[in-house]
């Protein structure tokens, strides 16, 4: 699998990065995990506008899904003629209604369904193209999911947004690459069931015995190096900070 960081800024875009969005490719299939603010523009550095085969939305906070409104325009009013065929979009209950409301004036309440084939995510296993995926509910103020993606005997696990969660440790167990949020600063912020800090991300990686940890969803006002050091105090495997346009072969 090839993982490309499209955007990794937490909560709002930075000068250097869009919000959460990660492109996962294998066998010519392109699955996008989240499409936060600014991601649609950045995505076009990595693939054509119409080259996505499926989208997974971890939850419906704007920094993970709002660029789907722009993507609706691109697919619905396609400039070179005709409307795009629908692609599967996996998201929590209410994804279509939420995106339709965010857009504001779609031609009808079901217009989004003409270009997106919405599937409601629940905890469980299913296939997306060539990938076997498993989703697990995580701890966040809204319904939110982490996802484990497997292909060819390799795996990557994306936390989405979550506070500390044993369910996430279980989902990520033995994974080759753990893309884990570390939004909070250790010792500074500690709001239950919202986000993790670097130390907690490292602790989850250690307990899940992952092979590699990539920290993400760090807000522009947070010192990423402090979060990296905090994670490394708990986990001694390879640990890096996600950065836009980084590519990982998994
Ligand atoms: Zn977020
Ligand atoms: Zn969130």
**Rounded distance, CA 158 to CA 204, Å?**
12
Ligand nearest to the CA of 184: 1
Q: Which residue has the higher pLDDT, 148 or 190?
A: 148
Average pLDDT over the chain, rounded to an integer:
97
> Based on the structure, what is the number of domains in the chain?
1
Rounded to the nearest angstrom, the distance between the alpha carbon of 161 and the centre of ligand 2 is 5
**Rounded distance, CA 177 to CA 180, Å?**
9
Band of the pLDDT at 80, cuts 50, 70, 90? confident
Segments forming the whole domain that contains residue 51: 2-249
pLDDT tens figures, 2-51: 999 999 999 999 999 999 999 999 999 999 999 999 999 999 999 999 99
| DSSP string covering 86-139 | PEEEEESTTHHHHHHHHH---SSTTTHHHHEEEEE--SEEEEETTEEEEEEE--
Q: Residue 135's domain is classified under what CATH number?
A: 3.60.15.10
| Percentage with pLDDT > 90 across the chain | 95
Rounded to the nearest angstrom, the distance between the alpha carbon of 10 and the centre of ligand 1 is 5
Decide if pLDDT at 186 tops 90.
Answer: no
Longest dimension (CA), the chain: 55
Structure tokens at 166: 């044993």
Rounded to the nearest angstrom, the distance between the alpha carbon of 48 and the centre of ligand 1 is 25
Rounded to the nearest angstrom, the distance between the alpha carbon of 163 and the centre of ligand 2 is 10
Taking residues 204-230, what's their average pLDDT? Answer: 98
Residues linked to residue 211 through DSSP beta bridges, in sequence order: none
pLDDT tens figures, 115-130: 999 999 999 999 999 9
Give the pLDDT confidence score for residue 65 in this predicted structure: 98
Interacting residues of 69 by C-beta distance below 8 A, sequence separation 6+: 99, 102, 103
pTM: 0.98
Count of Cβ atoms closer than 10 Å to residue 27 Cβ: 10
């Amino acid at each position: 699998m090839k993982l490309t960081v499209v955007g990794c800024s937490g909560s709002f875009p930075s000068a250097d990065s869009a919000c959460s969005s990660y492109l996962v490719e294998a066998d010519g299939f392109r699955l996008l995990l989240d499409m936060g603010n600014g991601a649609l523009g950045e995505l076009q550095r990595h693939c054509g506008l119409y080259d996505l085969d499926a989208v997974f939305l971890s939850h419906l906070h704007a920094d993970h899904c709002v660029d789907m409104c722009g993507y609706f325009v691109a697919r619905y009013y396609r400039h070179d003629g005709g409307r795009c065929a629908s692609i599967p979009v996996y998201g929590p209950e209410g994804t279509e209604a939420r995106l339709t409301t965010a857009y504001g004036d779609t031609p009808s309440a079901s217009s989004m369904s003409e270009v997106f084939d919405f599937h409601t995510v629940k905890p469980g296993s299913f296939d997306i193209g060539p990938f076997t995926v498993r989703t697990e509910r995580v701890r966040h103020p809204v319904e939110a999911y982490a996802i484990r993606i497997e292909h060819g005997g390799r795996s990557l696990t994306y936390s989405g947004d979550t506070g500390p969660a044993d369910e996430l440790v279980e989902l990520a167990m033995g994974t080759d690459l753990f893309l884990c949020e570390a939004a909070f600063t250790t010792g500074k912020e500690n709001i239950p069931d919202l986000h993790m800090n670097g130390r907690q991300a490292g602790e989850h990686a250690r307990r899940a015995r992952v092979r590699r940890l990539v920290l993400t969803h760090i807000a522009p006002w947070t010192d990423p190096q402090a979060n990296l050091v905090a994670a490394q105090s708990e986990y001694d495997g390879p640990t890096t900070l996600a950065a836009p346009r980084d590519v990982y072969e998994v």
